[in-house]
C-alpha cells in the first residue's frame, strides 16, 4: 500500500490553489491513475500512519511518521545550500539573514527510503556546474536514502494558473487610467523586499501610485486576480529565504513580467529582472529599477516576457505527469 499524506487534502485543490493543495491533489490522483485506487490511500496530515513493513508513505517534513521508523518517500524542498540545514541564518553578501530554521529536520531524512527533491533553476545551474556546495548538499541527501533520489524543479499546474491570462502590458492611455505599475511582495524577513522598496522611494517612485506592496494575494478570488491583471505589469519578489520560487512562477505562467532575487531567479537572459542586495551592486540595481519602471521599455519587456513565458509553458520537466513518473521510479526502487 502507498499511503499519501500532506498538510492539505487532495480535493482541497478544487477551491484552493495553495502549494500544498496542488501537491496533494496531483500526487494522490497521479498515483491512483498509475497504480489504481486500491493501492493508494490518503491519510490526514495529523494522523500517524499505521503502515505495514512493506508499505511506503509519500509525505514531506515534518510529518510525524519520519520519527516512527516507517518507510518514507519524501517529497521535499531544498535550496542545495548545506548551511541551510545547519544554521538559522544565511550569508547574504556579508549579512547574516534569517531563513526558515530546519536544523532539527535533516537527521529525520535518514529514515527516508527515497527522496524527490524540488528546487529552483538557480540551484540546478549551480549543481550542473559542479559547484561544491550544491554537489555536497546532494551527496548528503543521497547518503540519507542509499542514493534513491531525484533532484529537479518544482512542477506547476499551467492550466490552473493560466485561468486569468495577462496578454499585454499596461501603459497610460488617454482613454484609460491604467498605467505601468509594479507589485512588490514583502512580508517581513521571509518575503523580504525591504531594500528594493526603499530604493524605489529614493528614486522618486510613490507607493500607491507607481508601485504597491502586498504580503498576500488570494489567487482563488477571480475578481482579485482580474484586478491584478488590469493594474500591474511587473511582479517583484526580493525573497531569498524560500526554496521556491513557485509563487513567482505562478505569476510568470499567468503572463506578468517577473523580477526576483538572484538567489532564486536568474532572469533567463533578462538581466534587468534580476535583483541583488549586494552593496557593491547598488548603482546597477538603481539602473535596473529605473529601466523596469520606464514605460518606454515596455516593448522590450514584452519581448522578454513572451520568450520566457513560452519557455516555461513548454518545459517538460515542470509538468505534473513527468513528476509522477519520477516519483514512481523512486517508489519502485524502494519497494
Q: What is the pLDDT of residues 240-289, one digit of tens each?
A: 766 557 889 999 999 999 999 999 999 999 999 999 999 999 999 999 99
| CB within 8 Å of 48: residues ≥ 6 apart | 64, 65, 68
Does residue 143 sit in the same domain as residue 238? no
Domain CATH code at residue 10: 3.40.50
Does residue 289 sit in the same domain as residue 232? yes
Distance of CA 30 to the CA centre of its chain: 20
67: DSSP letter = G
- Report the candidate in 59, 147, 122, 133 with the shortest Cα–Cα distance to residue 91: 133
* E strand or H helix that includes residue 135: helix 132-144
Does residue 207 sit in the same domain as residue 308? yes
Does residue 89 sit in the same domain as residue 103? yes
Give SS3 for 223.
helix
Does residue 246 sit in the same domain as residue 148? no
Domain CATH code at residue 280: 3.40.50.2000
Domain residues for the domain of 288 are: 160-314
Does residue 78 sit in the same domain as residue 220? no
255: DSSP letter = T
What is the number of other CB atoms lying within 10 angstroms of the CB of residue 204? 9
CA distances 219 to 79, 138, 225, 258, Å, are: 25, 33, 6, 17
Does residue 187 sit in the same domain as residue 127? no
pTM of the model: 0.94
Does residue 123 sit in the same domain as residue 172? no
pLDDT digit string, tens, across residues 141-171: 999 999 999 999 999 999 999 999 999 998 8
Does residue 134 sit in the same domain as residue 212? no
pLDDT digit string, tens, across residues 104-126: 999 999 889 999 999 999 999 99
Question: Would you say residue 327 has pLDDT above 80?
Answer: yes
The residues with which 97 forms a beta bridge, in sequence order, are: 90
Does residue 52 sit in the same domain as residue 180? no
Strands 40-42 and 72-77: unpaired
- Using CA atoms, how far apart are residues 198 and 54, in angstroms rounded to an integer? 56
Cell of 196: 528594493
Does residue 165 sit in the same domain as residue 262? yes
Q: What is the number of domains present in the chain?
A: 2
The residues with which 98 forms a beta bridge, in sequence order, are: 89
Residue appearing with cell numbers 486569468:
164
Does residue 229 sit in the same domain as residue 90? no
| CB within 8 Å of 145: residues ≥ 6 apart | 74, 109, 112, 113, 114, 115
Amino acid at each position: 500500500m502507498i499511503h499519501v499524506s500532506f498538510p492539505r487534502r487532495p480535493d482541497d485543490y478544487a477551491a484552493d490553489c495553495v502549494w500544498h493543495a496542488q501537491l496533494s491533489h496531483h500526487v494522490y490522483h497521479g498515483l491512483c491513475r498509475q497504480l489504481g485506487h486500491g493501492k493508494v490511500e490518503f491519510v490526514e496530515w495529523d494522523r500517524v500512519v499505521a503502515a505495514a513493513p512493506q508499505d511506503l508513505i509519500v509525505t514531506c517534513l515534518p510529518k510525524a511518521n519520519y520519527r516512527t521508523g516507517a518507510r518514507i518517500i519524501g517529497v521535499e524542498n531544498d535550496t542545495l545550500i548545506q548551511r541551510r540545514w545547519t544554521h538559522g541564518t544565511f550569508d547574504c553578501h556579508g549579512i547574516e539573514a534569517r531563513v526558515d530554521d530546519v536544523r532539527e529536520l535533516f537527521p529525520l531524512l535518514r529514515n527516508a527510503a527515497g527522496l524527490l527533491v524540488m528546487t529552483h533553476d538557480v540551484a540546478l545551474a549551480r549543481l550542473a556546474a559542479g559547484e561544491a556546495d550544491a554537489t555536497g548538499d546532494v551527496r548528503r541527501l543521497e547518503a540519507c536514502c542509499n542514493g534513491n533520489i531525484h533532484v529537479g524543479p518544482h512542477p506547476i499546474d499551467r492550466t490552473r494558473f493560466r485561468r486569468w491570462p495577462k496578454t499585454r502590458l499596461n501603459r497610460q492611455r488617454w482613454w484609460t487610467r491604467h498605467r505601468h505599475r509594479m507589485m512588490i511582495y514583502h512580508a517581513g524577513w521571509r518575503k523580504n523586499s525591504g531594500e528594493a522598496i526603499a530604493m524605489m522611494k529614493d528614486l522618486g517612485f510613490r507607493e500607491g501610485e507607481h508601485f504597491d506592496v502586498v504580503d498576500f494575494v488570494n489567487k482563488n478570488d477571480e475578481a482579485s486576480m482580474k484586478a491584478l491583471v488590469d493594474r500591474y505589469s511587473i511582479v517583484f519578489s526580493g525573497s531569498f529565504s524560500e526554496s521556491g520560487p513557485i509563487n513567482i512562477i505562478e505569476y510568470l505562467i499567468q503572463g506578468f513580467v517577473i523580477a526576483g532575487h538572484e538567489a532564486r531567479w536568474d532572469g533567463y537572459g533578462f538581466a534587468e529582472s534580476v535583483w541583488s542586495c549586494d552593496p557593491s551592486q547598488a548603482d546597477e540595481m538603481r539602473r535596473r529599477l529605473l529601466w523596469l519602471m520606464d514605460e518606454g521599455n515596455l516593448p522590450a519587456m514584452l519581448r522578454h516576457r513572451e520568450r520566457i513565458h513560452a519557455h516555461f509553458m513548454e518545459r517538460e520537466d515542470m509538468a505534473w505527469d513527468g513528476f509522477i513518473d519520477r516519483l514512481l521510479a523512486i517508489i519502485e526502487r524502494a519497494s
